Amino acid sequence: MDSAIGFFLLDAVDDVPEYVVHWDSFVNLAKEYGLHLLEGKEFHDIYMEEREHPNFGPLLKKMRVVDEQGSSQMDEDQWDAANIYIGFAFKKRLL
């Protein structure tokens, strides 16, 4: 079964496949390869915590998530859909 969804972003990305991954299965598979989850957060949480960060704030503007004043450029449906994304970081455990 193919779990890919087609993704497009007006003026930036055309029909790129993105895959829906079961989070717990992903984390467990990573453990099998010696990767330890440091952090996993939904997009909304990352946005609220990092939107004023000197490195990430400008990236949000470049990606057209916010305008020059920092106001959201997403409508309600886009905002809801954005939360299917999870930011994560793993660290390799040394033996």
Q: What is the pLDDT of residues 38-83, one digit of tens each?
A: 999 999 999 899 888 998 888 888 877 888 888 888 888 888 888 8
Instruction: Examine the pLDDT at 88 and tell me if it is beyond 90.
Output: yes
Average pLDDT, the chain: 85
26, 31, 94, 50 alpha-carbon torsion, rounded to 10°: 40
- 35 burial via Cβ count (<10 Å: 0-12, 13-18, 19+): middle
Query: What is the pLDDT averaged over residues 10-23?
Result: 77
Distance between CA atoms of residues 65 and 31, nearest Å: 33
- Is the Cβ–Cβ distance between 82 and 44 less than 8 Å? yes
pLDDT at 95: 66
The reported pTM is: 0.70
Is the confidence at residue 18, as pLDDT, over 70? yes
At residue 72, the pLDDT reads 83
Residue 15 pLDDT class (50, 70, 90 cuts): confident
